[in-house]
Structure 1
Amino acid sequence: MEFPEDFFKKECRCGFEVPEMMKRAWAAQMEVLEVVGKVCEKHHLQYYADWGTLLGAIRHKGFIPWDDDIDICLRRKDYNELIRVLPKGLPHGFVVAGMYAASERLQNAAYVPQLRVIADETLWDFNSYMRRFHGFPYQRVGIDIFPMDRMPEDLETAKLQKEVIRQGIAILREWDRLQESGQLQGYLKGYGELCNVEIPQRDDLKNWMWRLIDALCSLYQDDDTEFITNWNVWMAKPRLYRVKNEWFDEMRYVPFEHVRIPVPGNYDEVLKAQFGDYMTPSQVKGGHDYPFYAEMEKELVKQIRAVGFMGSVEEFCEKVSTGELQV
């Protein structure tokens, strides 16, 4: 993917300074999005910008200045098909991470209830990685892919489903602490009773639990219900998040930085359901530390000093990405 010459310069957008490294992160993720988009298009799967990426596309015609990741979504039927075709459909260097990954290493690379596609660091040498991803030096650059699931018509039933999903994720988030305190088996037994399933004893139990939660999210996928939701969005927000299934019947392409990406046909109603008055900017970061690479940057400084490079991180990334410096 080609970028305008001035794209990677530090820039002030909406009163927020976007550093050069964040521009590299944006470009790297857009590369992954392009790869995933080609797989979706080949298999006629409808995918859409979601959450902050959707908001950025409509309000900013690109990234929200203070956002640092890319989110897309598919309706459950297409999402499940994407899980099936991705392993063979992705080009060399890109892999599925999370609960549907092929190895424990990659399952643990995305300890989240959604699908991720990442650049697997074991399949790249550093110089090639830097050239492909525009001088972004941090491993496992990727995007999040969420399912949009049918909801029960009865709102109280939907809230109960949400709470069961939330409790399962909470156990997984606290797994190590519960295990160390001797409480894990009790929590798992109780959760199995809540879900009316037997929790098995198996080596990959954590991944089995993630798949159980994904199954709970899709309980109503065969029902012709009016509303769908991204359970992750609803759990992250105090307000009810449900949108009409028909709002996603059409894909519409809109400007995003220097390319175009797909959004739901009725994106206005989707964004109002997510954010309310979505055209008024509010500098609220995502549900993780910003920038996501902050801790890795400290380690990179140590590494580039160890190889004798005394310039800045930005200078190092520029020289390696252009081939001027080989490491």
Structure 2
Amino acid sequence: MNLTELYYKLPKKIRYSERFILFCIKLAKPFHKKKTHEKEINYTLNYLFKSSDVKIEGTLRNIQLLYAELLRFIDNICKKYNLDYCLAYGTLLGAIRHDGFIPWDDDCDIIMIRNDYNKLIEVLPSEINKHKFLKENIGLTKLVGFRENYFNNVKTLYDEELGHDVYFHDYNKAPKQFDSKYNEKLPNLCKSLFLQIGWLKPMVRLDIFPYDYIEEKSLNHYDKHYRPAKVSFRNFFADDDFSYEKEFNKHFDKLGLTLEKTKYVGEGIDGSDEYVGSYDSSMFFPVKTHKFEGYDLKCPNKSEELLKRWYGESYMSIPQAIVMHGYSEYNSRFFDSIEDMNESFKLAINELKKINDEFE
């Protein structure tokens, strides 16, 4: 029996104990390491992309252009309701290094502070439902239970009819080391608790991560206990008696988070897997605009400082390790040919661009 199997055989009281999780994290040590990507530079790609006008074409480019219009749609809604957001992680890196997507990127991330994030969740369905084309093709997901979506008046991004739920949560892909009775639940932990908006066919999904203000007196406690709190929250999420509101509020209070503006911010426990501790809020606010795929979109106040913290001092260089999510290959299963798939992308891009151009 390995340690993972042993963990899942422990009583719930121990498994969800933040003190026990913190002990395990300290024992493992890698969880406490700063998550940067200080990789050896790929000098060939570095020269190619910095010295030549390399253009990405085909399906990958169509994925990026559809993402760009989804970003514009969110940007338009945020302008309408006076909400702030900013590009984040690899999307921000693309903005600063390439004035658009990282050439091989097929993912898209933004960050919002909790109040604005909650407001966006409130208004998104009505803005989507104003357009028949969007209503038929956009999916929204924010899970509040094991299989429970917060939204009930729009389509879900994990569409069962299209098979998206199977692809992202294939029970047969559960790690072999887990006891069989956990195989049914474990893959679903990959389902995202944060807000996602995406196109259903062809499929892309934009991640929207919540950030929270931290009370100054709780800063050290947050930095120490955020990771075990997130692990506990996500583990408990898979249980049948999980109550999203109850558990979220408990961790929110214990970590010293607040909806009131303070000097510090940090990733919400329902956010991404990134974790580098707390931030001075001046790194994010006031937001600035930066050209991204030809559009003025919002970026953090101190983008370069954040990118150094996330990816290391050499963030402006192309690394050896390049990660993709495989959406080109995934989308090909829905179409008879590459030509059909790219025509579907172009239709979605053009229709969404028209809606964005005429957005009221």
Q: What TM-score results when the alignment is normalised by the length of structure 1?
A: 0.64
What corresponds to 1:113 in structure 2?
193
2:220 is the counterpart of 1:155: yes
Match of 2:76 in 1: 38
Amino acid at match of 1:76: R
**Equivalent-residue separation in structure 2 for 1:114 and 1:171 (angstroms):** 16
Distance 1:112 1:149, change over 3 A: same
Which deviates more from structure 2 when the two are superposed, residues 101-110 or residues 64-73?
101-110
Q: Which segment drifts farther, 210-219 or 70-79?
A: 210-219
For residues 12-51 of structure 1, what are the structure 2 equivalents within 5 Å?
A: 13=49, 18=56, 20-51=58-89
Equivalent residue, structure 2, for 1:279: 316
Deviation string for 1:175-230 (max 9, x for gaps)? 4xxxxxxxx57xxxxxxxxxxxxxxx4xxx5xx44884487358512455422122
* Counterpart AA for 1:275: Y
Tell me which residue corresponds to 2:125.
87
Alignment of 1:251-262 (within 5 A): 251-262=287-298
**1:71 Cα deviation from its structure 2 partner:** 0.8
What are structure 1's unaligned runs of at least 5 residues?
1-11, 122-136, 176-183, 186-200, 305-311
Report the secondary structure of 2:106's partner residue: coil
Q: Distance in 2 between matches of 1:66 and 1:283?
A: 13
Partner of 1:134: none
Label 1:23 to 1:213 Cα distance change in 2 as closer, same or farther (>3 A). Answer: farther
Choose the corresponding residue for 1:295, options 326, 330, 345. Answer: 330
Paired positions, count = 251
Contact 2:93/2:102 (8 A) holds in 1: yes
Q: CA RMSD in A?
A: 3.5
Q: Which has the higher contact order (CA 8 A, sep 6+)?
A: 2
Structure 2 vs 1, CA of residues 267 and 101 (structure 1 numbering), >3 Å: closer, same or farther? Answer: same
How big is the shift at 1:268? 2.1
The answer on 1:98 being equivalent to 2:142 is yes
1:114-159 Cα offsets, whole Å, 9 max, x none, are 101123x4xxxxxxxxxxxxxxx523x3311111112354334433
Distance 1:284 1:228, change over 3 A: farther
Match of 1:247 among 263, 283, 288: 283
1:138 maps to which of 190, 202, 205: 202
The alignment status of 1:229 with 2:266, answered yes or no, reads: yes
Distance 2:118 2:69 in 1: 23
Q: TM-score, normalised by structure 2?
A: 0.59
User: Aligned partners of 2:305, 2:213: CA distance in 1, in Å?
Assistant: 17
3-state SS in 1 of match to 2:65: helix
Contact 2:95 2:292 in 1 (8 A): yes
Provide closer, same or farther for how the CA distance between residues 235 and 71 of structure 1 changes in structure 2, counting only shifts above 3 A: closer
Gaps of 5+ in 2: 1-47, 144-149, 160-164, 166-190, 348-360
CA distance in 2 between counterparts of 1:108 and 1:210 reads 22
